[in-house]
């Protein structure tokens, strides 16, 4: 049975269930006859193209479910094995994103579901180029990130030769993709770490709106938008790459990935007005404390009757604002996570922070350095893992991801 088949739309199924409850079994049978499938619901039928100038999962709208996984090439594996793996992965990702079964070994986890806006994104860590003996083609932008005083990094959950980001609006579709790709890895690569995340489901709000994080804050207001005149310049490597950037990265981007644990019990103990001073925005709607709506520019010089800045000098929104960082900007595309209760009895929960930029030394690094020196939010978060990955441009028809690196 094709994954594209679905017994009924989400709305229709809900209504049919109510009718069946009142009318009896015959109505239930009529609504679910296998020879009369109806169209997929909007969420289930959404597709994202695998081929293109850029890989999927970068400018794709936030999805409800995500999996991040880093792998190391197995001992003895090199460039040849890496190329074969990326070829297999690309073929599997293309089929999955189209809502097609992956072959005879398909587990059936997502049977009956549509593609549900599934995206699969592949990247290379710094060590990948050493293992494959391609160090001369490693971008200078993959130089290690500097240490930050707020870091409490676990090396076992950081870095990795290969990085895969999976996103979908359906949990089973996302998990199905994860299982299929890990099975395809075979003996060529071993999982180094894996993390699971989530966001609000499409349609859960009365209108589309910026997501909230687990602190309850609207998160992502100042993100660069594809409609911005300088968006591509900030997020993607140009056709004529700068010095230190090899041509195979054209159309690509760099992903910084950080597991940021939120100290939610401490945060929740703060009154809302104190939380708003830490962030510099209203919790209710994300608007600046200086007034307006969520998209109103911060009035950073505005003072109150007491002569003090309305947005405190250590507020997160002030310190991270592009105008406070020489125009440095990055596209934040995170997932929240909750991995149960920690040994200290507090929620092991927070943000799987993922940001995209054409150059992390001009995007992430200057902003994080400034946050590290005096962000009021730092008292309520802990950076527990970190990774930096070169994500090549999207594959052309007939290509696999990374082919221009591995076969040039």
Hey, which residues are catalytic here? 219
* CA gap 20, 38 in Å, rounded: 17
Tokens 């998209």 correspond to: 295
**Strands 162-168 vs 331-332: parallel, antiparallel or unpaired:** unpaired
Task: Give the whole-angstrom CA distance, residue 127 versus residue 134.
Answer: 10
Report the alpha-carbon distance of residue 99 to residue 231 in Å, rounded.
30
CB 92 within 8 A of CB 354: no
Residue with tokens 């593609």: 115
- Give long-range contacts, CB 8 A cutoff, 24+ apart: 336-340: 336/197, 336/198, 336/199, 336/213, 336/214, 337/195, 337/196, 337/197, 337/198, 337/259, 338/198, 338/214, 339/196
User: Which tokens hold the place of 325?
Assistant: 């960082």
18-to-7, 12, 31, 38, 42 alpha-carbon distances in Å = 16, 10, 12, 18, 21
* 128 in Cβ contact with 162 (< 8 Å): yes
Q: Which two tokens stand for residue 364?
A: 């992430």
Element (H, E) at 192: strand 189-198
Closest Cα partner for 92 from 82, 106, 79, 78? 106
The residue whose two tokens read 């579901």 is 113
Residue the block writes with tokens 């074969």: 84
Q: What are phi and psi of 374, to 5 degrees?
A: 175, 25
DSSP 297: P
Cα 156 from chain centre: 20
**Tokens 């929240």 map to which residue?**
336
Q: How crowded is residue 392: how many other Cβ atoms within 10 Å of its Cβ?
A: 25
Helix (H) or strand (E) holding 85: helix 79-97
Q: How is residue 348 written in tokens?
A: 């092991």
Q: Where are the alpha helices (DSSP H) in 217-320?
A: 231-235, 264-268, 272-279, 316-320
């Amino acid at each position: 049975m094709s994954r594209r088949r679905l017994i009924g739309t989400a709305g229709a199924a809900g209504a049919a269930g109510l009718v069946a409850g009142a009318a009896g079994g015959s109505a239930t049978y009529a609504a679910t006859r296998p020879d009369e499938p109806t169209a997929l619901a909007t969420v289930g039928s959404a597709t994202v193209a695998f081929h293109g100038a850029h890989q999927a999962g970068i400018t794709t709208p936030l999805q409800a479910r995500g999996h991040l996984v880093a792998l190391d090439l197995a001992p003895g594996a090199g460039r040849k094995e890496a190329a074969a793996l990326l070829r297999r992965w690309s073929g599997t990702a293309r089929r999955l994103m189209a809502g097609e079964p992956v072959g005879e070994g398909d587990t059936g986890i997502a049977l009956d579901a549509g593609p549900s806006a599934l995206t699969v994104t592949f990247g290379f860590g710094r060590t990948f180029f050493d293992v494959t003996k391609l160090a001369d083609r490693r971008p200078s932008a993959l130089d290690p990130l500097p240490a930050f005083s707020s870091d409490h990094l676990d090396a076992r959950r950081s870095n990795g030769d290969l990085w895969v980001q999976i996103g979908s609006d359906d949990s089973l579709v996302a998990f199905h993709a994860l299982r299929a790709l890990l099975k395809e890895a075979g003996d060529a690569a071993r999982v180094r770490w894996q993390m699971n995340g989530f966001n609000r489901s499409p349609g859960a709000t009365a209108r589309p709106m910026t997501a909230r994080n687990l602190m309850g804050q609207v998160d992502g207001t100042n993100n660069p938008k594809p409609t911005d005149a300088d968006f591509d310049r900030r997020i993607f490597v140009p056709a004529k790459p700068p010095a230190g950037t090899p041509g195979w990265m054209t159309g690509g981007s760099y992903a910084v990935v950080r597991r940021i644990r939120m100290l939610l019990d401490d945060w929740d103990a703060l009154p809302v007005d104190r939380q708003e001073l830490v962030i510099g925005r209203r919790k209710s709607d994300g608007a600046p404390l200086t007034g307006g709506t969520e998209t109103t520019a911060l009035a950073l010089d505005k003072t109150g009757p007491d002569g003090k800045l309305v947005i405190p000098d250590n507020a997160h929104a002030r310190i991270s604002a592009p105008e406070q960082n020489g125009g440095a900007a990055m596209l934040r595309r995170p997932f929240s996570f909750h991995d149960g209760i920690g040994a200290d009895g507090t929620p092991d929960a927070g943000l799987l922070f993922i940001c995209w930029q054409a150059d992390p030394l001009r995007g992430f690094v200057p902003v994080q350095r400034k946050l590290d020196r005096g962000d009021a939010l730092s008292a309520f978060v802990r950076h527990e893992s970190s990774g930096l990955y070169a994500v090549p441009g999207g594959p052309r028809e007939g290509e696999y991801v990374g082919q221009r690196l591995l076969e040039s």
